[in-house]
Amino acid sequence: MLVQILILGVSFALLAWSADRFVLGASATATLLGLPPLLVGLTIVAFGTSAPEMLVSALAALAGSPGLAVGNAIGSNIANMGLILGLTALAMPLFIRGHILRREVPAMALVMLVTWLLMLDGGLDRLDGAILLTGLALLTGWLAWAIRQGNGDNGGAFPSPATAPTDATPSRLTPALLWLTVGLIVMLLSAQTAVWAATGLAARIGVAETVVGLTLVAVGTSLPELATCLAAARRGQGDIAIGNIIGSNMFNLLGVLGLAAALKPVALEPGTLSRDYATMAGITLVFFLLSHGLRQRGHVGRLAGAFLLLLWLVWLAWLGLNNLAA
């Protein structure tokens, strides 16, 4: 068991590193080829920060571990809202531009509603997966149109500042393609080892794969979002941090669950909707209320961040108690 925990930790570290390298290489490649920054932000950055969740869930579904696949997607969203957003607001109070509350938050609510309706029959089949992936394509196109209508102000679900040049950004096409390829290969390998270690760990300690997916795997695959949000908070770009979380959550439901179901139908374990999905919806509602501010609209301060983090910890304790009782 100790070996599996060690392998899981190394896999998460490699997932975070390879996702960063993938985004760096892909963004540099797109820039050098003259692609619009808007397109890069909506596709490459969005995929890069959610690629660990997508690969882990897809491989888990193919390996016959639907609980891990679904738990990873839903657990990542809960961790995004509770752990990551809570820690980010604790580090630096966040100020959110109004259009995020008017545009991206309602879009996220619609995505959550559609996904819940598709799950009501107890699973996601290939048709459901196709619907979710089509929804992802439509959402990306709509956001691109909405952003262009806003005179190029991207401040929305997918953060283009992650595509800005840094000292580590390749200035030539060959090294950019190299980082792109290396990042993708390492992501695939580390996702595969993470699935193997997580399923083995679940069997050894006697807990459901869904629980492992909701907790350990969800937090591990959310590391790119955590890094992006903390970096945005340090730069005083709270709307970028919020946008990254909202974009990641929509991507997890539409892209991560959609790809997993399209590859192989997944059945939901008992409690997935009534416990886990309800928790995700509840903590999202709490964020929405907090984002309207008790004192100032669009402000998520340290107290609100501490409350979100507390909710996530309470949910973890509740999940652990339920597992022990079972």
Side chain identity at 112, as an amino acid letter?
M
- Could you tell me the two tokens for 30? 């797109």
Phi, psi for 293 (deg, rounded to 5): 75, 135
Long-range Cβ pairs for the range 313-321 (8 Å, 24+):
313/82, 315/78, 315/82, 315/279, 315/283, 316/215, 319/211, 319/214, 319/215, 319/275
Q: Residue 167: what pLDDT? A: 47
Q: Residue 7: what pLDDT? A: 86
Per-residue pLDDT of the chain (326 residues; tens, 9 = 90+): 788 888 888 888 887 788 778 767 776 777 787 765 545 555 566 666 677 888 888 888 888 888 888 998 999 999 999 999 999 888 888 776 656 667 777 888 999 999 999 999 999 999 999 999 999 999 888 877 776 666 444 444 444 434 344 445 677 888 888 887 888 788 778 877 887 888 787 778 777 778 888 887 888 878 777 777 777 677 676 666 777 788 889 999 999 999 999 999 998 988 889 889 999 999 999 988 887 765 556 677 888 889 999 999 999 888 877 765 55
- Judged by DSSP in three states, 136 sits in helix
**Within its chain, how far is the Cα of 134 from the centroid?**
18
Q: Residue 157: what pLDDT? A: 45
Span 2-325 CATH architecture:
Up-down Bundle (1.20)
Cβ proximity of 136 and 42 under 8 Å: no
**CA–CA dist 101, 121 (Å, integer):** 31
Bridge partners, 300 (sequence order): 94
The domain limits of the chain are: 2-325
The predicted model scores a pTM of 0.79
**CA–CA dist 42, 18 (Å, integer):** 19
Phi, psi for 95 (deg, rounded to 5): -115, 130
Cβ proximity of 240 and 164 under 8 Å: no
Bridge partners, 94 (sequence order): 300
**CA–CA dist 16, 22 (Å, integer):** 10
